[in-house]
């Protein structure tokens, strides 16, 4: 095996509420059996995957594989983007071994979510240039989103899931906090300005979300049809809807049937700027972001060399 085929696994042992740690011996055994050269480095705390990706010694490695969930993968990509300023070395590829709770990025991109599949793919990986999003606020804050960015209700729900630990019951945890949020969350006045399009001024904006795949937040289909390789960001805006109508929308969003209902607007653009009140909730890939509005999200087309399959006939 050439050195450039070796895999550096950045492993989050607490992803999936400890499932990832329990799977590590099985992942190693399968990599050995497949004769895939590899090393594993283990994260110790929140943000450590990003730090490792930004500073680890990549000499001799051709694939950097995140082993965990969507949050771990987002950290790894952010670390790599800061390290290479979005210009990856030609030999380097990025992979995901899904051992987390949701794995929405793969699921929403119509890719397998079986960790065994992705370990096998690493024997002979095929990559595709994948888009990611760059998020900036008015103070210079910058972060990269792999799968999703949100302002308003979904950011509020995500923060509650993280604070209360309801994510340990899986996608149901998001639904529980969404229904609780109906009683406590308040919409806000905002302006949404897509690049090249007219601004939408909202007196009561409940939610603005940008997605890179069809699913996030435990399988919610906020933007049906979103693709990670189309050079666009897909967005959804919910405003002007009375609180009493939100229950039906929450129930329908899991199947994508909210599209076309009153107050729901779906669009796409290369960039979108959002103005909202100070403190209005915001998240980047499910992590709460303390931003100062306006916030701008723009697509970076094809910057991520992402492993999507293998040359041996597996999904690509």
Residues 189-235: tens digit of each pLDDT: 999 999 999 999 999 999 999 999 998 877 788 999 999 999 999 99
* Number of domains, the chain: 2
Residues 9 and 89 in one domain: yes
Q: Which of 74, 99, 124 is the last residue of a domain?
A: 124
Parallel/antiparallel/unpaired status of strands 200-211 and 148-152: antiparallel
Nearest to 168 by CA among 102, 81, 106: 102
Residues 98 and 13 in one domain: yes
Residues 159 and 285 in one domain: yes
What is the structure's pLDDT at 2?
Answer: 46
Residues 144 and 280 in one domain: yes
> Would you say the pTM of this structure is higher than 0.85?
yes
Q: Which of 124, 154, 179 is the last residue of a domain?
A: 124
Q: Per residue in 261-300, pLDDT tens?
A: 899 999 999 999 999 999 999 999 989 999 999 999 999 9
Residues 165 and 68 in one domain: no
Write out the DSSP string of 31-66.
HHHTT--EEEEE--STTHHHHHHHHS--TTEEEEEE
Residues 100 and 140 in one domain: no
Q: Is the pLDDT of residue 315 over 60?
A: no
Residues 196 and 271 in one domain: yes
Please, which pLDDT band fits residue 173 given cuts at 50, 70 and 90?
low
Residues 163 and 289 in one domain: yes
What is the structure's pLDDT at 313?
Answer: 53
Please, which pLDDT band fits residue 168 given cuts at 50, 70 and 90?
low
Q: Which of 89, 124, 159 is the last residue of a domain?
A: 124
Residues 143 and 113 in one domain: no
Q: Which helix (H) or strand (E) holds 311?
A: none
Q: Per residue in 236-247, pLDDT tens?
A: 999 999 998 888
What is the structure's pLDDT at 180?
Answer: 78
- Strand-pairing partners, residue 192, are 200, 274
The arithmetic mean of pLDDT across residues 84-97, rounded, is 92
Cβ pair 213, 109 in contact under 8 A: yes
What is the structure's pLDDT at 215?
Answer: 87
CATH code at position 29: 3.40.50.10330
Residues 165 and 206 in one domain: yes
In a domain, 48, yes or no: yes
In a domain, 174, yes or no: yes
Contacts of residue 87, Cβ cutoff 8 Å, sequence gap at least 6: none
What is the structure's pLDDT at 166?
Answer: 54
Domain of residue 270: give its range: 135-301
The arithmetic mean of pLDDT across residues 35-47, rounded, is 95
What is the structure's pLDDT at 305?
Answer: 97
* 38-42, 76-80, 183-187, 205-209: the lowest-pLDDT one: 183-187
Residues 192 and 289 in one domain: yes
What is the structure's pLDDT at 246?
Answer: 86
Residues 116 and 171 in one domain: no
Cβ pair 231, 300 in contact under 8 A: no
């Amino acid at each position: 095996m050439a050195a450039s085929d070796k895999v550096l696994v950045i492993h989050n042992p607490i992803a999936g509420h400890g499932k990832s740690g329990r799977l590590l011996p099985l992942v190693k055994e399968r990599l050995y059996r497949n004769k895939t050269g590899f090393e594993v480095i283990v994260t110790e705390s929140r943000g450590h995957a990003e730090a490792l990706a930004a500073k680890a010694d990549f000499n001799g490695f051709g694939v950097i594989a995140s082993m965990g969930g969507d949050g771990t993968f987002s950290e790894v990509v952010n670390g790599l983007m800061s390290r290479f300023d979005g210009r990856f070395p030609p030999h380097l590829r990025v992979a995901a071994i899904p051992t987390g709770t949701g794995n929405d990025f793969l699921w929403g991109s119509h890719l397998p979510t079986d960790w065994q599949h992705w370990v096998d793919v690493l024997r002979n990986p095929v990559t595709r240039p994948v888009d990611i999003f760059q998020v900036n606020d008015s103070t210079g804050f910058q972060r990269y989103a792999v799968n999703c960015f949100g302002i308003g209700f979904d950011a509020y729900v995500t923060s509650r899931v993280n604070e209360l630990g309801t994510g340990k019951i899986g996608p149901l945890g998001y639904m529980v906090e969404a229904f609780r949020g109906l009683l406590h969350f308040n919409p806000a006045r905002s302006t949404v300005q897509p690049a090249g399009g007219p601004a939408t001024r909202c007196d009561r904006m409940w939610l603005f979300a940008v997605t890179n795949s069809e699913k996030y937040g435990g399988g919610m289909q906020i933007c049906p049809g979103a693709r990670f390789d189309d050079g666009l960001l897909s967005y959804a805006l919910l405003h002007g809807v009375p609180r009493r109508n939100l229950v039906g929308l929450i129930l329908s969003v899991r199947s994508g049937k909210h599209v076309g209902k009153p107050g729901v607007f779906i669009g796409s653009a290369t960039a979108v700027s959002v103005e909202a009140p100070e403190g209005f909730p915001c998240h980047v890939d499910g992590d709460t972001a303390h931003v100062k509005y306006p916030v701008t999200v723009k697509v970076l087309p094809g910057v991520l060399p992402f492993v999507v399959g293998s040359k041996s006939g597996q999904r690509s």
